[in-house]
Amino acid sequence: MSAEQHHHPSPSQYWKIAGFLALVTAIEVALFYIDKELELGAMNAVLLVILSTLKFLTVVGWFMHLRYEKSLLSRFFAAGFALAMGCYVVVLAAMGVIVIRGA
């Protein structure tokens, strides 16, 4: 993509992104405290990973301009991200942090 075609978020979009990220962070903090009361266990970890992934993809998409790149670059990024998450799950399972049923 050439320099003149490079997209940037507008100031209002930055505020919307900041609000979204703050909201998701507030939900994550609330989950931390709710877990102490309800003892959600593994479900809490799964929810936190999902929310963190959502924030990560938002930041990568907007601030690293991945959403404006060619789909091939997005696919390479997605493949690397999926591989990293797979490795993360395997390591957590090997350490006994998560239990994979049937294994």
Q: What is the mean pLDDT of residues 10-19?
A: 91
What is the pLDDT at residue 96? Answer: 79
Given a contact cutoff of 8 angstroms between Cβ atoms, the answer to whether 73 and 81 are in contact is no
Of the listed ranges 4-8, 14-18, 47-51, the least confidently predicted one is 4-8
What is the pLDDT at residue 2? Answer: 46
Sign of CA dihedral 78, 82, 83, 84: positive
Entry pTM: 0.69
pLDDT bucket at 29, cuts 50 / 70 / 90:
very high
Domain boundaries, the chain: 3-69, 70-103
Q: Tell which residue, 52, 48, 56, has the closest CA to residue 31.
A: 48
pLDDT in tens, 39-93: 777 788 888 889 998 998 888 888 777 777 788 888 888 898 899 988 988 888 8
pLDDT bucket at 18, cuts 50 / 70 / 90:
very high
